[in-house]
Amino acid sequence: MKVSVPATSANMGPGFDTLGIALQIKNQVVIKPSKFHSVSLKGEGSNNPALKDNNMFISIFNDFYHNLSTKRRNFRFEFYNEIPMSRGLGSSSAVIVSAISSAYAIEGVELSKKKLLNLALAYENHPDNITPAVMGGFNVATVQDNEVNFIKKDMPKNLRAIVVIPNRPISTNMSRKTLPYKYSKDDAVFNLSHASLLTAAFMSENWEMLRIASLDKFHQKYRMKQMPELFEVQKTSLKAGSLMSTLSGSGSTFFSIAYAEDSKKIERELRNRFPHFKIFTTDFDNYGVRVEK
């Protein structure tokens, strides 16, 4: 059995804890019944031996598997990870979503994407990564009474994402603690109006509006101060022709959207300026988590 889950970029500027989009960067796990428990890791995290013993995937998988099954089978878990950890590309959401999906699939128990999303919420209480990880596409999401309510929009083929992945991680939990406890009414109205405009721009495919609509006063500047080079990344990307350029989730990755025909030039300019960062262009994912039995 094989499960794959896309990376996600959350917030998208002003949509703190609300907006998120799925990318064609994936984590994949292959699970096979086996005499003994074993784990193999390729790609991101493979240089971290602790992940073989103390793995968030295995612990969430076991929570669900032990609830769903009376049998005590052992498995071999083969992880192929493309999503870098603690870089603001939703690696923790991908793990949560794939672990829950895997436990249901291995037991042959039906699980709707809507139920999966609400189960994932118990492990990550902001819906902006888990929603696109499950559904794919661009998503607006809110939580009411422990349920995620969302609207999804498929991304068109003429746009690309350009990601700039710094060599230093930022932990989401730590980074949330650096944000202000309270915001002024002016800042609240600023973000409300920009997040609304950004959502309307995606829904109506008014891409020229993104540059203004993606401005934020809630989180980016506080987080980017930890890595001041990110201000230059944003400027370079916008100057080279990106439609928008925002901190991805809690960082450290910077995420830009551009027309497909402009994306390679933007990628080239970013690479010239920031040779020590990992920089590439990718498509959007419109499907979300995928289970192959």
Ligand X SMILES: N[C@@H](CCOP(=O)(O)O)C(=O)O
Ligand Y SMILES: Nc1ncnc2c1ncn2[C@@H]1O[C@H](COP(=O)(O)OP(=O)(O)O)[C@@H](O)[C@H]1O
Binding residues for ATP, by number, are 84-94
Nearer CB in complex with ligand Y: 6/240: 6
Q: How far is the CB of 218 from ligand X (least distance, A)?
A: 9
CA-wise closest residue to 12 among 175, 279, 270, 245:
245
Which of 4, 11, 139, 199 is the binder for ligand X (CB under 6 A)?
11
CA-wise closest residue to 169 among 248, 92, 246, 253:
253
- Assign 11 to helix, strand or coil: coil
Query: With binding defined as CB under 6 A, does residue 176 bind ligand X?
Result: yes
242 binds, among ligand Y, ligand X, none (CB under 5 to 8 A by kind): none
Interacting residue ranges for ligand Y, rule: CB under 6 A: 27, 45, 51, 55-57, 81, 85-92, 95, 171-172, 249-250
Query: With binding defined as CB under 6 A, does residue 172 bind ligand X?
Result: yes
Residues of each annotated binding site:
84-94
Interface positions, 222-251, toward ligand X (CB under 6 A): 249-250
11 binds, among ligand Y, ligand X, none (CB under 5 to 8 A by kind): ligand X
Tokens 């971290």 -> residue: 48
Cα–Cα distance list, 131 to 68, 104, 116, 239 (Å): 24, 18, 10, 31
Tokens 């889950």 -> residue: 5
Query: With binding defined as CB under 6 A, does residue 90 bind ligand X?
Result: yes
Helix axes 56-68, 91-106, angle to 10 degrees: 30
Query: With binding defined as CB under 6 A, does residue 254 bind ligand X?
Result: no
Instruction: HSE, CB side, 13 Å, CA atoms: give it for residue 199.
Output: 19
Residue ranges binding ligand X (CB under 6 A): 10-11, 16-17, 88-90, 92, 126, 128-129, 172, 176, 219, 249-250
